[in-house]
Chains A and B, each alone.
Chain A
Amino acid sequence: MIEVKDLSKDYIILKRKPGLSGAIRSLFIREKEIKQAVDHISFEIKPGEVVGYIGPNGAGKSTTIKMLCGILTPSHGEIRVNGVVPYQNRKQNAINIGAVYGQRTQLFWDIPVRESYELLRHIYEIPKNDFEARMKHFTEYLNLGPILDIPVRQLSLGQKMRCELAASFLHNPAVVFLDEPTIGLDVAVKENIRKFIREMNHLYGTTVILTTHDMEDIEQLCQRIIIIDNGSILYDGDLVAVKERFGHQRTIHFEMPQTDHFKLPASLESTVDVAEITESRVSLLFSSRDIKGAEVIAIMMAEYEVNDLTIKDTSIETIVKEIYERGI
């Protein structure tokens, strides 16, 4: 479905010295700096796969996706999306792909959602029957019914994202790129969106590439992840393997009325570390392989008075950092 071989992308950045003299200087002498946003990466994605493409900000995720969409021409290497070279056949590639960009809209700002879809039907030349069947399906799944007649500019973020998602799957593309599809949304909408993505993947065999900073998104949707940092691939493979290796660290914050005389219960001493003690909070760090979270909580509750607690998972950033420092 997607073949990427030895792909690189260099940006040329024009450097400018600060201040007025720098501005004048730059009129005559232009200093160029080459930044390698993507550095000789290769991967292959099979039809129907849901792949998490993750990494910290500025790692080269967007650049890769833009090249897969045909908006950027690679400096080096080969790409094929559904048999098409994206930057050579941008319009042909456009029919094969769908995309949601968290911060940008692909709907038409001034007209009701329903008419936006109608317009997309013409733009993507979707047969009327297919269109209607899929619309019916999407309306049900994403609960679009009540918002179809509202102009896009009046929608809330959650409503807009649901509409965007439907728009990106409307022409039944072979591949869909989702860039931060759940950013800034509440739990219910996130859940709704994940369910929809799973369903589309299941029903139509749509290949999905997902970039996100939300560990939940990845755990619930992806079987495979590709981790990229500084333009190179750090890891490409099973999600389970990564989780086993890195996803076991947990932090629990206990909100307590009194922390002055806190001492780690004896039964936890061998497996749990005290990460931090403040006036009203104790944070404990442990590995879920050594001890279950529930057990830690039970022991703490038995020994101390606890008002509240929060459990923190390992974040993508931590995993990337660990892989970067220790390797896989």
Chain B
Amino acid sequence: MRKYIAIFKSQIQITFAYSAWFWASMISAVFQLIILFYFWHAVYQNSDTIGNMNIKQMITYVMIATILGKFMNGAGSQLAGDIRTGQIATELMRPYNLLHKLMAMDLGGKTSDFIQSAVPLLVVAGLFFSITLPESLTAGILFVVSSILGILLAGVFDLIIGLLAFWTINTWGLRILRNAIVLFFSGSLIPISLFPPSMQLISQYLPFQSMVYVPVSIYTGAISGQDAWMAMGAQLFWIVFIYAVLRASWSQALRKVTIFGG
């Protein structure tokens, strides 16, 4: 465990070192928030509520969801790159589990991203776009826990996409498809509650709404009490389930590599 913590810490440092990248992504994120703000103001011009949400709730939802949505990537592209370039051979010679190492790196990067960009963006959103605070203190705490679960879920899911590089040489197309699906079904674009009923039904059986929609709805109070616990249970289920699939396909892929030589 100590080795993964060391990797986690070192990745925090590495991510902090890329300051140009940081400012570029910061500025684009602020623009995104400005666009969201005016877009939803225009939408609300002719009505007070849309799908039971007033403008304030909606702005709060989309801004938190947009910021959280920035954490829905993972180490999958790194894994795919290692596989494509053959660097995976060196990785396999190390006394660690490569999947856990990649997760530690990913979480390290996200931790520094959180400190350097999510926190300032939340402050900007709070000061200039008047997003509301969480429904209650409990909702606030549950939101934090649920966000972490959502980020973990997205991380393991992303590794599965990266792992597919063992079978398809390039995962670029898959990645675009994944991004589109996650953007839409995670609820980072619009709340799932605005979807038509049939889509909502489909979404309920998919893991994606556990990534963004669940934590942000806990924040806004759209999901609370018993439902919040249920939703977090579902998050946990998906993490365990997808992790199990990941491990199974990982050992399958390794067997393929070590027996067939790639």
Contacts and interface: CB of A to CB of B under 8 A. Distances in A.
A71 B92 contact: yes
B17 A99 contact: no
Of A70, A111, A123, most B-chain CB atoms within 10 Å: A123
Interface stretch (B5-13, B27-35, B130-138, B204-212): B5-13
Given A104-B86, A115-B10, A71 B3 contact: no
B17 A110 contact: yes
Contact of B260 (A11, A119, A122): A11
Interface residues of B, number: 25
A109 to B, nearest CB: 9
A217 B10 CA distance: 36
Contacts of A97: 93
Interface string B67-109: 0000000000000000000110110111111000000000000
A11 B261 contact: yes
Contact of B93 (A99, A118, A122): A99
Nearest to A151: B17
Nearest to B260: A12
Give chain A's interface residue range (CB within 8 Å of chain B): 20 to 34
A135 B257 CA distance: 35
Contacts of A9: 261
A124 B95 CA distance: 7
A87 B13 contact: no
B10 A72 contact: no
Interface stretch (A51-59, A88-96, A193-201, A203-211): A88-96
Contacts of B5: 122
Given A104-B86, A104-B87, A110-B14, A123 B93 contact: no
A12 B5 CA distance: 40
Nearest to B86: A104
A108 interface: yes
A101 interface: yes
A154 interface: no
Interface string A120-134: 001111000000000
Contacts of B86: 104
Given A104-B89, A108-B10, A110-B14, A123 B260 contact: no
Given A73-B258, A110-B14, A123 B6 contact: yes
The 3 nearest A-B residue pairs measured at CB: A122-B6, A94-B95, A73-B258
Interface of B: 2-3, 5-7, 10, 13-14, 17, 86-87, 89-90, 92-97, 255, 257-261
Given A99-B90, A122-B3, A123-B95, 6 more contacts: A37-B261, A72-B258, A111-B10, A111-B14, A115-B10, A118-B6
Interface of A: 9, 11-12, 37, 63, 66, 69-73, 87, 90-92, 94-95, 97, 99, 101, 104-106, 108, 110-111, 115, 118-119, 122-125
